[in-house]
A and B are shown apart, each in its own frame.
Chain A
């Protein structure tokens, strides 16, 4: 999930544009992390040292690790440890952007440093298991939208990002959220969550985006907007909300329920209080995930 968070940061800060980011995101599944990237991530080599070794590698038929050891930047033991190390997934995105010429390793090193500062993750290494780090970053999303940060809000958003990764694909970037009184509907499906704390969840996008989203969800190649594409959006929202209420139920022993999803093709979405809009950009279009309280 940190890859998506880093993508959001890079866009927000104007370090990359959407096209550059989508191009890099589309290469994630076919790319492998390089030893130099891991060494920077672990603070064992500077970006300049990595650049130097990469330059030497273009002139000598040697592995990166051998060159780094020859030059005294790493020991053999450190190379072994790095090769077996599980590197944070966001570093792969950084590496692809370096390979694409968007920025240098030196700039990547600074970007990651600034990103950790921006996200207040000074003492945390961003590995997959680091739940505190996930929650810290998710809290930021609510603060950007000037929303109250509650345990349930964070859980809902975390599950939403996980559902997107699991059912649609990891190549998305969460854009900055907004709090609005009303949201004009393009096309979408809504589902009410009933219980102590009721709210309406909604997924909204244009029809072309809906076709692509549905194709990924159903693992089918839909070419037109029809009842199957609509059903795919409903099923996605229903599955995501189902996971949410299972989690809430497990945590609090309170039973909450779902209403069947309904299609909304026009009009305005609003809640008794307000709506929070989480735009999520995929290469095929932007999907708005909205909750109205």
Chain B
């Protein structure tokens, strides 16, 4: 699958988690441009600067957590495609993320298939 010209913002405070997610995308698609953020504040800043096609966002992060960043990005762009990827998959967090406009919620550790489905459905037909 060719997703050249697609920008993917991967926001997680763990360098390993970011690498694993980017590796998973690169296994199924070629040509993506990645932007990496280490916290919610960077997620908002990089979203506004780079206008990515999709965002993968952790919740538990320093400075600004993922749900705050999600709310801010959706306020800036209510069409933003944001996928939450978190170890904290409580019903409360899930409802909150969906209410704030997250398009999907993936519980860590993710399966590569889950990333594949997201990439195909969100970027495949564009």
Contact = CB atoms under 8 A, between A and B. Distances in A.
Q: Is the interface of A mostly helix, strand, loop or mixed?
A: helix
Nearest to A249: B90
Given A231-B14, A260-B61, A250 B91 contact: yes
Contacts of B14: 231, 234-235, 238
B122 interface: no
Given A231-B15, A235-B17, A239-B108, A260 B60 contact: yes
Interface string A226-257: 01100110110011011101100110000101
**Which of B16, B17, B62, B93: most chain A CB closer than 10 A?**
B16
Interface residues of A, number: 22
A259 B17 contact: no
Contacts, number: 56
B81 to A, nearest CB: 24
Nearest to B20: A218
B13 interface: yes
A232 B16 contact: yes
A260 B62 contact: yes
Nearest to A239: B87
Q: Is the interface of B mostly helix, strand, loop or mixed?
A: loop
Interface in B2-57: 13-17, 19-20
Contacts of A258: 60, 87-88
Given A228-B16, A249-B92, A260-B13, A242 B87 contact: yes
Given A231-B17, A258-B60, A242 B91 contact: no
B18 to A, nearest CB: 9
Contacts of B109: 167, 239
Contacts of B16: 218, 228, 231-232, 235
A243 B92 contact: no
Contacts of A255: 90, 92-93
A257 B20 CA distance: 24
A263 B20 CA distance: 20
A234 B15 CA distance: 10
Interface string B77-100: 000000000111111110000000
B38 to A, nearest CB: 10
Interface residues of B, number: 20
Interface string A89-113: 0000000000000000000000000
A243 B60 CA distance: 13
Contacts of A227: 15
B87 A238 contact: yes
B108 A242 contact: yes
Given A227-B15, A231-B14, A242 B20 contact: no
B88 A257 contact: yes
A250 B87 CA distance: 15
B10 to A, nearest CB: 13
Nearest to A214: B16
Nearest to B19: A228
B88 A245 contact: yes
A218 B19 CA distance: 10
Contacts of B19: 228
Given A228-B15, A239-B109, A246 B60 contact: no
B43 to A, nearest CB: 14
B87 A243 contact: yes
12 contacts: A227-B15, A228-B16, A239-B87, A239-B108, A239-B109, A242-B87, A242-B89, A246-B88, A250-B90, A258-B87, A259-B60, A260-B60
Interface of B: 13-17, 19-20, 60-62, 86-93, 108-109
Interface of A: 167, 218, 227-228, 231-232, 234-235, 238-239, 241-243, 245-246, 249-250, 255, 257-260
Pairs of residues from A and B, 8 with the lowest C-beta to C-beta distance, nearest first: A242-B87, A231-B16, A249-B90, A255-B92, A231-B14, A260-B62, A239-B87, A231-B15
